[in-house]
A and B are shown apart, each in its own frame.
Chain A
Amino acid sequence: MPSTEEPQSSAATKNPRRRNGSADRSNPLVSGDKGGVAGDKVFNGLALAAGVTILLVLAFVAIFLTFNSVGAVYTEEEGLNLGAFFSYAYPLLLGSLMASAIALMIATPVAVGVALYLSHYAPPKLSRTIGYVIDLLAAIPSVVYGAWGMTFLAPALVPLYDVAHEYLDFIPFFAGTPSQTGRTVLTGGIVLSVMIIAIITAVSREIFMQTPKLHEEAALALGATKWEMIRTAVFPFARAGIISGVMLGLGRALGETMAVALVLSVGPLTFSLISSGNSTIPAEIALNFPEAPPGSERQAQLIAIGLVLFLITLVVNMIARWIVSRHKEFSGAN
């Protein structure tokens, strides 16, 4: 009872005020709320400004990086000098691509397998718990992965590299003296693969779960085994999703800094996966930027390769998004 009385009394105190003006009576809530009009405008403006800020920030990222990296390719004395920058950047770029390629080759099959396990093989209750566990993989900071790769994984891989060197010497990837610390580009790629498994798994699992149940049951009703069902109903539906997940993983692997900076003992470019050497763009920046004097040509050089990395990841991510958006049109029919 008291709860109903209270609003009544407050309404009673408000009522006399409303009766005062006849204009207020026609639409008392709107016209009586003069402060609200300004509030609406301010709020709308704020929201718009925030959105524009994001666009500005991204534009500034591109502008600042470009502006600051001019010093790497152009100096007052020498003029435009693209060749020097190119010969500096391409071993780093190749190193980045090599580490990412190794990471993708390991991570993609494992991640698709784990996603399949979670969506189609594991008991549903267990699958949710394991989903959390896989999310944990993504939550662990990259520096911890780097530390683990450097102190635990690298020494454990040394005997393997020795064996690979002994028997697979004829393949250029396993030529050269094997590293005695194990801190090679292959180790770096393996650490990266562990880091991107979580991303690819998350995306693929999501898309596997969305496979139309009717397609799956139709396949099973025709006598398909579970694998045949997955091959004929799940994979065709999920192909675009898997590819975009892999692309997102590639973007992450290309931009990953700390894991590589810690695991790799950097050196000049070499195609041998088991001897020390190679470097990646992010590792190069992280290792040298704190020592580079502000405003120097060295800093400009580092910012310039940062810009190259930015553009590459931009393209990779845009392709991934494009695949997803193209897929959306088709899945509308399902």
Chain B
Amino acid sequence: MTSSTRTAERPSNPSQEPQGSRRNKLAQRPLPPWTWVVVLVASAVVAAALAALFTDFHLGFVFVTTLVLFLVTSYVVTRSRAGRRKANDELCRNLVYTAFILALIPLVSLLWSVTSVGMRGLTEPGFLTSDMMGVSGTTDAESVQEGTSVQGGIVHALVGSLMITLAAAAISVPIGLLTSIYLVEYSRGGPLARAITFFVDVMTGIPSIVAGLFGVAAMSWFLGVLNQAGLISSSRSTMGITAAIALSVLMIPIVVRTTEEMLRVVPNELREASYAMGVRKWRTITKVVLPTAISGIASGVTLALARVFGETAPILVTAGFVVNVNWNLFQGWMTALPVYIYRQFQNPINPSLSEPSYQRAWAAALVLIFVVMMLNLIARIIAKVFAPKTGGR
């Protein structure tokens, strides 16, 4: 429409022509919007042809070549038709889209591989209800040679993960909650509060394996002290509670950060209304502030649980790994689900026939991802459903 009126204007006003044509170049769209589709298809075809010529049609090669050809060609085409600035803009847009696709590839590949391989192991009878008692290299070899179902399950790992995670939550939620209450309600930015905030930030960056080492060191020191006092006679620090302590080092900072954020958004008017009625500070906090922020706190705690549930390294060095169910946090080794996966991959039950171990590991990984995703989903639902009514504010 505009171009037709402009061409109609041009002959009637010849003196304006150079200016008009310059404006045209900026205003009109020199390339039709479907150009990129054509360029993409063309580069894909060329890449496929190249792949067929030089390699035996490697898909990765096709993908990378298509990408490079597309980026170069679309830059050249835009540059020749629309100028340097447009071409740069086009190139950067394509690069941004490429980055996005590149980031999705591993996610899709990972989810697909876990689901496709894991489903087979998960549907084996007794996978979710049995432990690894009696599973040895010979039973694994038999199941492969005779084509029977793979023995062994993850119930001991599920029990271990559940107990350790709950114990870690029992330690870190009260400490984290009370600390954030101290930060928000009691200290108005004093030096102690600033120190706590800073060191909580530092704690979020502690490598998980270091937390595990701390758990071991702290527990063996503690047991040594108790031994000298003659209270107990055991000095084995490898047990569930040690893992829970190590995990709470990782969990406390997450709980503090999310809870603090949630408490800060509770409107001050609510507190002041409560004080104005003569309610004491601690009653105000427990009856007014916490209920208002509870949805955010609960979702933050759930996210922290999800993070801790997937941790491997600290549990590996603190709680060890066993083959049978152990409900006792204070005695004996315990297996957690991530450690189970790690052990099945790293030390297959039958070193020469790793297939059954891998199958169990992938199935366990599927269960682990499922649990973690569910926790994430629950956190979002809690945050949405139980959010306080904003009252049209």
Contact = CB atoms under 8 A, between A and B. Distances in A.
Interface string B349-361: 0000000001001
A282 B316 CA distance: 12
Given A64-B217, A65-B217, A306-B213, A141 B317 contact: no
A321 B201 contact: yes
B365 A143 contact: yes
B244 interface: no
B interface secondary structure, majority = helix
A44 B107 contact: no
B199 A114 contact: no
Contacts of A67: 217
Contacts of B98: 113
A173 interface: no
A101 B103 CA distance: 18
Closest 7 CB pairs of A and B: A113-B99, A255-B207, A141-B310, A29-B278, A317-B205, A50-B178, A47-B182
Contacts of A147: 341, 345, 361-362, 365
Contacts of A85: none
Interface stretch (B7-15, B89-97, B137-145, B292-300): B89-97
B266 interface: no
Contacts of A109: 99
A197 interface: yes
A50 B182 contact: yes
A244 to B, nearest CB: 11
Contacts of B278: 27, 29-30
Given A51-B196, A60-B214, A255 B209 contact: yes
Interface of A: 27, 29-30, 33, 36-37, 39-40, 42-44, 46-55, 57-58, 60-61, 64-65, 67-68, 109-114, 116-117, 121-122, 130, 133-137, 139-148, 150-153, 156, 159-160, 194, 197, 201, 223, 225-228, 230, 248, 251, 254-258, 261-262, 282, 285-286, 289-290, 294-295, 302-303, 306-307, 309-310, 313-314, 316-318, 321
Contacts of B216: 289
Contact of B207 (A223, A290, A295, A309): A309
A39 B285 CA distance: 12
A201 B376 CA distance: 19
Contact of A60 (B192, B218, B237, B362): B218
Contact of B199 (A54, A116, A289, A306): A54
Contact of B282 (A43, A110, A223, A306): A43
Contact of A65 (B104, B195, B204, B213): B213
Contact of B206 (A40, A55, A61): A61
B199 A58 contact: yes
A141 B207 contact: no
A294 B183 contact: no
B178 A47 contact: yes
A48 B338 contact: no
A194 B282 contact: no
B186 interface: yes
B185 A64 contact: no
A287 to B, nearest CB: 8
Contacts of A261: 342, 346
A218 B106 CA distance: 38
A260 to B, nearest CB: 10
Contact of A114 (B99, B179, B185, B361): B99
Given A136-B376, A289-B316, 16 more contacts: A39-B283, A61-B206, A64-B214, A113-B100, A114-B99, A114-B100, A116-B96, A121-B96, A139-B307, A140-B110, A141-B372, A160-B60, A255-B210, A256-B207, A286-B209, A289-B213
A133 B106 CA distance: 12
B310 A142 contact: yes
Nearest to B105: A194
B316 A290 contact: yes
Contacts of B60: 156, 160
Given A148-B109, A152-B113, A201-B103, A43 B206 contact: no
A309 B317 contact: no
